[in-house]
Amino acid sequence: MVHKSLTSQNSLELIDHNHPAAKSHLKTLRIKPPGSDCLTIWGVYLPSDDLHKREELYQVIQDAISSENDKASHADLPLPYNIMAGDMNAALFKQDVLHSCAAPTLSPTGILE
């Protein structure tokens, strides 16, 4: 659900990642309201039974965020804000903390810190 003022100002952009791993697992919406910083919302589905797919998705996300940060830096713009949301199957796996886009650390008890 998006406020009508954003749609009327052409402030929304649906990003297509053109990567096989992203198909039906990753949707991204960029919101650029006039006079405000850019906000990117990531809808992610990380399947629990396919570690290879999870790793591919992490790489797609990491590459996309790095690319956007580079563009902003070269244009002397503020870095975009990113929000991750979606179905991570109710938990991150121990392997997930190895990826830089999964910043939380996992304690020995399995609790995200």
Q: What is the pTM of this model?
A: 0.66
Contact 37, 78 (CB under 8 A): yes
pLDDT tens digits, residue range 22-75?
888 888 888 888 788 888 888 888 877 888 888 888 888 888 888 888 988 898
Nearest to 80 by CA among 91, 89, 68: 68
Taking the C-alpha atoms of residue 99 and residue 95, their distance in angstroms, rounded to an integer, is 8
Strand order in the sheet with 39-45: 12-15, 26-31, 39-45, 81-87
Give me the sign of the Cα torsion angle 30, 33, 39, 44: negative
